[in-house]
A = this chain, B = another copy of it.
Amino acid sequence: MPRKSLKHHLYVIIFGTHTRAGRAFDIALIAAIITSLVVLILESLPSVMTEWSQELRYIEYTFTALFTLEYLLRLYCSPKPKSYATSFYGVVDLLAILPTYLAIFFPGASFMGVVRLLRVMRIFRILKLVRYLQDSNVLLRSLLMARRKIFIFFSTVGILVIILGSLIFVIEGPHNGFTSIPKSIYWAIVTITTVGYGDMVPQTNLGKAIASITMLLGYSILAVPTGIITAELSNEMNAHKELVKCPNCNRSGHDSDAIHCKHCGSELADPDNRVVAGDENEKSS
């Protein structure tokens, strides 16, 4: 441990999650993020906007100031600011404050569209919350391990959707609402994912047949990603079992809370290769 400098102190509070101060800071930050999101959503309600636009803008400025301060402090106290600024969270923290400043510097009166876009872009502040979903790494690892299979699955779906979309485009044709292949592919996606808006539906019998095939396909291939994730997850969740081996009879398959080998009863070595999620996350952030 280095000496407790102010910088390090700040680091522990802002980036850390183990000290009481650190936890307090995190909770305050979460509260601020959620409040600012509520403000943003309220701003989108015409009724509210007409009455409270002024107040909402002031609140918005306050939050922007707070998040700016947070961003600068993070830059200051982070051991390597560059890597933070370029990290996922660094970019998110910047995105969280940028829009307001842009909206100020380019007076919105002239081009509302951009300003509305900027105002809504602040929604990405929600990504600041992702920092607090860190314990999802079992899920993430499963998804990572399955990424090849998932990519293959999506490629297959993509190919199916393009073929089925083109078929329905030829069969139904423009006069039934299938005016182009992209629109028909959109229909195929709506159908294969079993969403079924009903804004585009086949009229001809052949089209209905294709639609039925698309639905049954979508209905059943849904099983594939589920199978992939499930298989990976149960592997992940049994990972430990494979790790620990009995020093005496050298058999594996022990639970994470096993102290004795269930086969020969001799003591098991302590499981000392357990990674403390918190630590590595701080490093990665």
Residues of A within 8 A of B (CB): 37, 40-41, 44-46, 113, 116-117, 120, 123-124, 126-127, 129-130, 133, 135-136, 138-139, 142-143, 148-150, 152-157, 159, 162-163, 166-167, 169-170, 174, 179-183, 185-186, 189-199, 201, 205, 208, 211-212, 215-216, 218-220, 222-235, 237, 242, 251-268
Stoichiometry (number of copies) = 4
A228 and B233 contact, CB distance less than 8 A: yes
* Distance between Cα atoms of A97 and B39 in the complex (Å): 41
- Whether A182 lies near B41 (C-beta < 8 A) is yes
Q: Which residues of B contact A138 (CB under 8 A)?
A: 149
Task: Find chain B residues with CB under 8 A from A167 CB.
Answer: 120
- Shortest C-beta distance, A138 to chain B (Å), equals 7
Indicate which residue in B124, B162, B268 contacts A126 across the interface (CB closer than 8 Å): B162
Cβ–Cβ contact B242 & A256, under 8 A:
yes
Give CA–CA (A157, B219) in the complex, Å. 11
Contact B40 A181 (CB under 8 A): yes
**Which residues of B have CB within 8 Å of A148?**
135
A211 CA / B264 CA spacing, docked (Å): 52
Do the beta carbons of B255 and A260 come within 8 Å of each other? no
Cβ contact within 8 Å between A123 and B256 = no
Decide: A229 near B227, CB < 8 A? Known: A120-B170, A256-B242, A260-B262.
yes
Q: How far is the CA of A150 from the CA of B233 in the complex (A)?
A: 13
Contact B259 A263 (CB under 8 A): yes
Complex formed: what's the CA distance from A201 to B183 in Å? Answer: 13
Besides A130-B159, A226-B226, A260-B265, 14 new A-B residue pairs in contact (Cβ under 8 A), listed by A number: A37-B162, A116-B170, A127-B159, A139-B224, A190-B212, A190-B215, A198-B198, A198-B199, A222-B223, A227-B233, A230-B231, A260-B263, A262-B262, A265-B265
